[in-house]
Amino acid sequence: MAESKNSSGGASLFNLFRRPEAGAAAGFILIFLFFAYFGLDKNFLTALGTSTWLNFASKVGIIAIPIGFLMIAGELDISIGAVIPAGGIVLAMGTELYGINIWVAFAMSMVICGFIGFVNGMIVTRTKVPSLIVTLATLFVVAGLNAYVSKGLAGTTQHSLQDVGVVSEFILGDYHTLAFGDGDDKVTVFRSLQSSFFLFLLVSALGFFILHKSPWGNWIFALGGDQESARNAGIPTSSLKIVLFILSAMAAGLVGMTEAVLANTASTTTQFGMIFNSIICVVVGGVLLTGGFGTVTGTVFGTLTFGIVFQGINFTTFDKDLNMLFIGVLLLVAVLMNDTFREWATRASTAKK
């Protein structure tokens, strides 16, 4: 093999490629510089401009982290498109229609979304039907239930959610600004960042710990690498998968709730776009579609890149319709890079002898 004859320089280059988040980070920097250049005149680099794409990215990101876990474990979850509105309307109906305390309603919503994830996981592990089909089915089941239950209980598919209290609004759905000084000395750290951005940071940190630091992360990688061997090694593969489906459903519910609190309204509209968006973020972040490999850091960079491309176009003179084209190209490049990476990783020799 040619690689084995490489000098230490080649080996360190290989080590760089062994970290897929390096590729995702490089992509992020390139995209950022690109839009910073073309969007400079239209305030892309201001605090408000940055918040525009960060806010958009955080909502996708909260879901993308657990979806990344599922994809590393070799599964998909597209039911999140319907679980997002489910989370929102349960919260809104609970507080407005039944006058339940917001945090109790929050817990109820989490339990209901978690249950949807549990059903997904049970069906996938019991029947061996591909998770794409199972969650496609539950996507429509939940979407139907959203509208039916919503109309049955409240007579509408749009629920208002007023006055949820200062604390819950602060945590779930508000705009935050941090600045020092006044007048000309004013230093703005961030401006109009939504609560979901901070939740995204929290979810990312938790995700990083679980996947890369805790022993469970090892189980997730093993599950995606070779399920049979993982089971032989004593990993409770079915339970683990069910937990991962519960996590992704709860993350989707959380996003639905932050949206509802922020907009003071919840709708039953199924968010089909979020299904693709979350998968794109994960793939751009270097998670292999075949499972068994990926990082949380990569997914975070993938999400940020996606956010910039999706929102950044508004800061440039390019036609806004081109953002879909950008994302398509981005996804294609990412998939090809991931594939190349896998080739590299499985072909490299063990030592430099």
Partner 1 sequence: MSDTPILEMQNVNKSFGPVDVLHDISLKVRAGEVLCLLGDNGAGKSTLIKTLSGVHQPTSGDMLMDGEKVRFDRPRDATDRGIATVHQFGGTFPLMSIGRSFFVGMEPTKGWGPFKRFDREKANAIAVKAVQDFGITRIDDGDRLIGGLSGGERQSLAIARALHFGARVLILDEPTAALGVKQATHVLRVVNEAKRRGLAVIFITHQVMHAMAVGDHFAVLIRGAIAADFKKGEKSREEITDLMAGGESMSDLEAQIDADNEGQSSQAGAA
Residues that bind partner 1 (CB under 8 A): 18, 213-215, 217-219, 221-222, 225-226, 228-235, 288, 292-293, 342, 345-351, 353
CB of 63 to partner 1, least distance (A): 23
> How far is Cα 116 from Cα 102, in angstroms, rounded to an integer?
21
- Whole-number minimum distance, CB 12 to partner 1, in Å? 13
Instruction: Output the DSSP codes for 315-332.
Output: GSSS-TTHHHHHHHHHHH
- What CA–CA distance (Å, rounded) separates 178 from 12? 41
Complex with partner 1: residue 127 or 214, whichever CB lies closer: 214
Residue closer to partner 1 (CB basis): 221 or 310: 221
Minimum CB separation of residue 297 from partner 1 in Å reads 16
Tell me the closest approach of the beta carbon of residue 226 to partner 1, in angstroms: 5
Nearest-approach distance from CB 222 to partner 1, in angstroms = 4
**Residue 345 Cβ, how far from partner 1 at the closest point, in Å?**
5
Cβ nearer to partner 1, comparing 21 with 96: 21
Q: Residue 220 or 275: which CB sits closer to partner 1?
A: 220
- Please, what sign has the CA dihedral across residues 80, 218, 61, 177? positive
Cβ closest to partner 1, residue 186 vs residue 213:
213
Where on the phi/psi map is residue 270: left (φ > 0), alpha (ψ -120 to 50), or beta?
beta
Which lies closer to partner 1 via its Cβ, residue 265 or residue 349? 349
- Closest CB 293 distance from partner 1, rounded Å: 4
Kindly tell me which of 177 and 232 has the beta carbon lying closer to partner 1. 232
Distance CA 306, CA 50 (A): 13
> Which positions ≥6 away from 166 have C-beta within 8 Å?
none
Beta bridge partners of 261: none
Q: Which two tokens stand for residue 346?
A: 């499985």
Nearest CA to 68 out of 260, 293, 237 is that of 293
- Return the H-helix or E-strand segment holding 148: helix 131-154
The closest alpha carbon to 76, from 273, 330, 254, 283, belongs to 283
**Residue 48: C-alpha distances to residues 1, 54, 56, 187, 198 (Å):** 51, 10, 13, 13, 16
| Rounded Cα gap, residues 231 and 240, in angstroms | 11
From the CB of 151, what's the least distance to partner 1, in Å?
Answer: 42
Residue placing its CB nearer to partner 1 in the complex, 98 or 209: 209
| Total residue count of the chain as it appears in this document | 353
